[in-house]
Structure 1
Amino acid sequence: MNTNRLSSAMQDALIKQMTKEGHASQIFLSYGCWADVKGYGGIANFLYRHSQEERNHMIKFMRYILDRGGEARVEAIPAPPENPQNLTDCFNKVFQHEVDNTTSIYALVDLSFQEKDWATWNFMQWFVKEQIEEEKLALELIDKLKIAGGDRASDESLFSLDKALEAAPDDVPLPETATAENPS
């Protein structure tokens, strides 16, 4: 008896996303190494933590496929792209990567809706919310660097930014949690 509750198209799409999450982990790990070499230990630590979070996302997809009776496959992960040229480039690449990942998440939501696969649709809602958080976090990186002076930031500003990111929480408040008493 076939106990796989996922269509072959859905299983393949979930495996593709699982691989994409693994690739994201490698990208952030690579960028973390780059930041470490440049002397930005706090930024590196932030990126290393983000790398681990992406790997955890990969495991969530793997576990879901297996729990639905599917066959999870670990596929080759492409090499990370070239190192960023500077912090502006790094943070812009982090943001663009998150936007690309959001697009992939939305495609999975769309496929689950088309197939009337409500279990997968429900599973994907966590990732929809997560991508709001991820994009906001990436935008905050860009904004913080701009406030520090961007590519012309002083060493003192970059030192402060580096220390702030080292201590920064990995999650951000989202609009759906805002109230009149606590708007941010």
Structure 2
Amino acid sequence: MLSNKAFNIFKKTLKTILLSPVLPILMASPDNVEGEVKFAGTVIEVDSQVVSKITSFNRKVSVSEQDITGSEDIVPGTDVLHQVFTSIAVSETADIEGITIESAAAGLDDGQSELKDAVDQGKIITLKSTRNTGYGWSLSGFFTSYEEGADTSGVYTYKGSFRINSKVEITPGS
């Protein structure tokens, strides 16, 4: 019979032997996943001035369709039509959340005011999303909904839906 001390040494040795092949995998940081695309610098610009930082971004694409079923689209062996559709329009929106930033030149709450004014006026604004690699998209559009708030931290936060009318690819150095 093994003593408690010998048994604990045996358990520790066995654990080390069994875990050694998978220990590097268990210890790997999720930040080190090769090829992983990370959410990085996404900002909102109004009149070419950065007024907000995006903290959450969810892109949605919607496709409108039209029924083009004809009399020849029959389920074999029946008199039942098999519906056929074609896409006729694609729309793109983004649900975003963020914080406004202050303007170093114009004062404490300039970013909040400019973003709010752009939303209230339905202005076309630019949302720039750039990954750590330098690649990304410059999205032009306007807010279709917008909510803002603040808490005791004093940080203005907002969330809303952004209609994307056009997008241009950003490449490193552009």
Instruction: Say yes or no: TM over 0.5.
Output: no
From the two aligned structures, give the one with the greater helix fraction: 1
Larger of the two Rg values belongs to structure: 2
* Bigger RCO (CA 8 Å, 6+ sep): 1
TM-score of the two chains, using structure 2 as the length reference: 0.21
TM-score of the two chains, using structure 1 as the length reference: 0.21
